[in-house]
Amino acid sequence: MFENIKQAIDRAYNEMVEIRRYLHQHPELSFKEVKTAAYIVDFYKRLNIPFKEKVGGNGIIATLKGGNPGKTIALRADFDALPIHDEKDVPYRSKVDGIMHACGHDGHTATLLMLAKVLNDFQSELPGTVVFLHQHAEEFSPGGAKPIIESGELDHVDAFFGTHLWSVTPLGHIETSKNVLMAGADRFQIILQGQGGHGSAPHETKDAIAIGAQLVTQLQHIVSRKINPLQTAVISIGKFQAGSAFNVIADKALLQGTVRYLDTSMQHKVIEEMERTIKGVCLANDITYEFEYNKGYPPLMNHEKEAELILATKDSVEDITEMNEIEPKMASEDFAYYLLEKPGAFFFTGAMKEKDIYPHHHPKFDFDERAMPIAAKTLIKAYLNYQEQHV
């Protein structure tokens, strides 16, 4: 059966590309994916595959019950876009100013939709039940995964598998891990309240910019001097706003940034050290502050047995030229929430273009569309491997 499924996926390639490019031209931001959700719903209506919409927000869950007994396994794709202006010179460039699919979620959706269409023709032969999980709002915490889980609509699922098309990994390469694959990601905001004044009289002020610069430097010392070098943490300041004129000393500064970590002990350590550092710098400079720390997605921790099922797909999917176990990436994914609930695994599908290679979240981001059928074949083979293991 799998050989026939692979051939059917290859025949569906052109339609897969057509869907991806349509979605690429019509992106929607996290929690606002109304038209995208409607497009997905309409697709399942035409296939006569039962579905539930507006799950946990804009999520869609379609269910294909196979003709043979087996487990219930969810295959997940996300479908939100990013607030980035598309700078690619391609016919399928985003038609929405300031919004684009800069992370491959259009490709994830096209892959899962066409896999559903292909598997629909093999329904009588399939073991178990395939849950096609289309998730909204992956890009912006608190994300779509958590409310979908909280809806209870996935309580019956036995395992989860998902993939991310990865534009900086060569086409034909699959990457995964038997343990932590992606980092936890938090965000924070610091507001410093000093005392402004004339640029000619700094001694009469409490310079928020100078103090903010001290704080940026001191926060970097947390990772370099407070964290065990054999452990992993990242503190990055992405935004520093202050001042209104060249000759005015600013009274207020805003700093925003992100923290990345691979285990919760590091998260707790970083928060503790940040609080101590901010308090100390502000006390030394006699200013007040506000510190807001928002915990985001947890680390994505694959389950070993399910990751092994992905690793085993190389023997059956000829398009896979390399199968690699990798070190964790410091990017984050709310697929992590599914793996806190049930067994499963996540993997990266290499989608590097032959030229004009740009990373995720870049205005010229794109990927090699030939990666989509590889992702589809790997997902369904992992599904079948799981069914065979749990007969």
Two structure tokens written together for 16: 């897969």
Phi, then psi, of 175 in degrees rounded to 5: -125, 135
HSE-CB for 250 with a 13 A CA cutoff: 19
Radius of gyration of the chain (CA): 23
Two structure tokens written together for 300: 């994505």
Length of the chain in terms of residues written = 391
HSE-CB for 338 with a 13 A CA cutoff: 29
Any idea which residues carry the catalytic annotation?
Answer: 80, 138
- Binding-site residue ranges: 103, 105, 139, 164, 361
- Binding-site residue ranges for Mn(2+): 103, 105, 139, 164, 361
Neighbours of 90 (CB within 10 A): 13
Closest CA to 82 of 162, 23, 28, 143: 28
Question: Residue holding tokens 């964290």?
Answer: 227
Burial (0-12, 13-18, 19+ Cβ within 10 Å), 32: middle
Question: Residue holding tokens 């992993």?
Answer: 232
Question: How far is 131 from 64, CA to CA, in rounded Å?
Answer: 6
Question: How far is 191 from 131, CA to CA, in rounded Å?
Answer: 45
Peptide bond into 142 cis (omega under 30): yes
